[in-house]
Structures are given as C-alpha cells and as structure tokens.
Amino acid sequence: MVFGVQACIFVMLYPYFQAVLGWSGLLSTAGLMPMALLMMVASGISPRLTERLGARATMLIGIALAGGGLTLLAVLVSVDGGYLSVLPGMITMGLGMGIAMTPSTEVITSSLPREQQGVASALNDVTREFGTALGVALLGALLTAGYRSAIEPALYGVPAATAAAAREGIANALHDAHATPALVNAAKQSFVEGWQTSMWAGVILMAALALFTALRGPKRPASDDL
C-alpha cells in the first residue's frame, strides 16, 4: 500500500504540474524534489526511531504522516493555489514514506535466515512492484472517473469532437484546437476534483494499513530479529 500510494502520487503530480500549472517537464521534475529529498532524510532517521520505539511504532508513525500528507493534498489542492497548495502535502508525504519504508523493508528481509536472504530480497521487490502497479491502477482509475464525472456538465453545447476529446483527459482538453477558455478552466478544475477523490481513497487505504499494522505488526524492533 505504501509503495502503491507513493507511486500514484508521483504519477498524478506530473499532470498537475504540466496541465494545470503549465510547467515544463524539467520544472515538473524539479517540483518533485522536496518530496524525494525528505524521503531520503527520513529514511536515515527511521533506523534510530526503530531502535528506540520498535518497528511497529515506527511504521505507524510513517503511515500516519503519509495519511496526513494525503489529507493535505486533498484539502489544500486547487487550480489557483498553484505549487504551494500541494507542497505541504508533499512534504508530509515524503517524511511519512521515508519513515515507514525502512523498517518495513527490514522486517521482510529479517523474517528469513541469512542463507535465504536472496528469497527475502526478492519477496521485498515483488511487494514493491505489485503494490506500485495496484496503487497506480486503483487510484489512477479513481482520478480518471472523478475527472470525467466533474467535467461532464461543462460539455453541454460543446461540439461532439471537442467534448469527446475532453472526456478522454485533461491533456486532450487543453490541446484541442476548438477548446474555449471556459472549457480549459473546467478541465483543470475537474482534474483537481478527480485528484481529491483519489486522495481521499488513499487516506482510507492508509487508515486500513495503520489498523492492520497496529494489530499485526512486529512487536519488537526489526534489528532484534537479525
């Protein structure tokens, strides 16, 4: 779940930066750096927290921060708010992801004896890849569905070809030759509404993950199992 939500956030931020804010690809990549850098910093802090609090408590802290970041992304994001409307959520998400991932990985790899560490590492990679694919598919589908539902009222009276292009996605709506400023603004606002739907779904996933971790998470610091 953690990797799925993280991957989905990265996938969604690019069209927000490029289509809603009008940024270039290079600037959009730079816009992701605060989140990536904070993940690196938090992953360095996480082992100390695990040693002091235990793996389960550390993972819960990370999951709670990730859920808080998703909440901020859902509540604060807007068309007019620009980059500053998503930055607080990105910062909180970066901290939460970095804190949660390190003990999660260590718990998986330490669950098998040393002679089977190759199997443990492969299992860890599989969970990451599977979670990423599932998260992008699920939350991405919610974003698309939310966008299409939100833009539909703005398509009344719009030529059929332009309306069909707008339904396909925000990029098509922005680049259609017959798109009016009103339709462009509607497409941007619809993307934000679809984004919010997806973020709230992510919050629910993080809440479920926190409950599972609290009930079934490791009771000792992962380092004790080595």
Residue 65 lies in a domain: yes
pTM over 0.75: yes
With CA atoms as reference, report the closest residue to 123 among 108, 145, 138: 108
Token reading at 158: 């719009």
Residue 153 lies in a domain: yes
CATH number (domain holding residue 167): 1.20.1250.20
Burial class (CB in 10 A: 0-12, 13-18, 19+), 218: buried
Handedness of CA 210, 8, 84, 80 (dihedral sign): negative
Span 93-129, pLDDT tens digits? 999 988 988 887 777 777 666 766 677 677 777 777 7
Domain count, the chain: 1
Contact at 8 Å (CB) between 28 and 14?
Answer: yes
Span 8-41, pLDDT tens digits? 788 888 889 988 998 998 999 899 999 989 988 9
Quickly count: other Cβ atoms within 10 Å of residue 199's Cβ.
25
Please report, in angstroms and rounded to a whole number, the separation of the first and last CA atoms in the chain: 25
Range of the domain at 192: 2-112+119-221
Quickly count: other Cβ atoms within 10 Å of residue 70's Cβ.
28
Which residues are within 8 A (CB) of 222 and not within 5 positions of it... i.e. 6 or more apart?
50, 55, 103, 106, 107, 110
